[in-house]
Amino acid sequence: MYAEYQERGRVLPWRETRDPWAILVSELMLQQTQVARVLPKYGEWLRRWPDPSSMAAASVAEVLAAWSGLGYNRRALALKAAASIIETEHGGTVPEDAAALRALPGVGGYTAGAVRAFAFGLPDVFLETNIRAALLHWFFPDREGVRDRELLPVAAAVLDRADPRAWHYALMDYGAALKKLAPNPSRRSAHHAVQSRFEGSLRQARGAIVRILSAEGPHEAESIHERCGMERERVANALAALVAEGTVEYAGSLVRVRET
């Protein structure tokens, strides 16, 4: 597998760095988003905010405007909040400690493990969709409904602790290749879920609202309904959800992207 990775491994910008901030940015961008959509945003993002300090100083409106097209805007808010915590509590340096990483907004077990492995070369064990596919293919070929708690000990047993960075990248590429050659092994995971259709979804309405407010500034709620060109109830529900999570806020009768 290593030989295959060395010869045909995917060349991706976040694989060319060991900068913990750059890797943290890539991992949050890649959550629930395809590589092809992340690639044009990643370099632009790091040129604009090359470290947590610059990100912490940015406005929410700037961050959401730059994030447009990646979906799930709460990840952008989490990244900005994480940058602020890194700046104030960790001296502007992304922490190496697993617990400190997991305490950052938007960072769970997988993301913390990925940052530790890819930035610091530490032998953490973690699962993502392609790693899961590879392990299911080799070690559970005839099983359905395999749970992650069964996969994690296997992942720990086969991990190359001398080079966890290359091992995980190779395993990811192998799992991605498997999905193109045979029925997706991930479907046999108990945690496999098919993403809901985007067209006509609440996600679509949320994205439209944030794009309008980021590009045009504050709007009356009625104006947002008209500008979105979608069903009134869907837009109203999306707007309420955005207000509840703190992405947008009311300033009198106007709705705007949260300022801080």
Q: Which residue has the higher pLDDT, 51 or 232?
A: 51
pLDDT digits (tens, 9 = 90+) for 131-185: 999 999 999 998 898 999 999 999 999 999 999 999 999 999 999 888 887 778 8
User: Which residues 6+ apart lie within 8 Å of 37 measured at CB?
Assistant: 69, 70
pLDDT band for 15, please (50, 70, 90 cuts): very high
The tokens describing 115, both together, are: 């940052």
| CATH class given for the domain over 2-120 | mainly alpha
Catalytic-labelled residue, pool 7, 16, 27, 245: 27
pLDDT at 13 over 70: yes
The tokens describing 21, both together, are: 């901030």
Per-domain residue ranges of the chain? 2-120, 129-188, 202-257
pLDDT at 234 over 90: no
- Chain mean pLDDT for the chain: 90
CATH 1.10.10.10 is the classification of domain 202-257: yes
Cα distance between residue 249 and residue 258, in whole Å: 5
pLDDT digits (tens, 9 = 90+) for 25-49: 999 999 988 899 999 999 999 999 9
Helix (H/G/I), strand (E/B), else coil: 254: strand
Q: What share of the chain in percent tops pLDDT 70?
A: 95
Q: Which residue has the higher pLDDT, 93 or 197?
A: 93
| 202-257 matches 2-120 in CATH topology | no
27 assigned to active site: yes
pLDDT digits (tens, 9 = 90+) for 183-212: 788 888 888 776 667 677 878 888 888 888
In this structure, the dihedral spanned by the alpha carbons of residues 83, 86, 91 and 95, taken in order and rounded to 10 degrees, is: -130
Question: Which helix (DSSP H) or strand (DSSP E) does residue 83 occupy?
Answer: helix 74-89
Q: Count CB neighbours of 138 within 10 A.
A: 13
First vs last Cα of the chain: how many Å apart?
47
The tokens describing 52, both together, are: 């947590």
Comparing CA positions, the residue from 33, 24, 28, 75 lying closest to residue 51 is 24
- Lay out the sheet containing 219-220: strands in order across: 219-220, 254-257, 248-251
The whole-model pTM stands at: 0.84
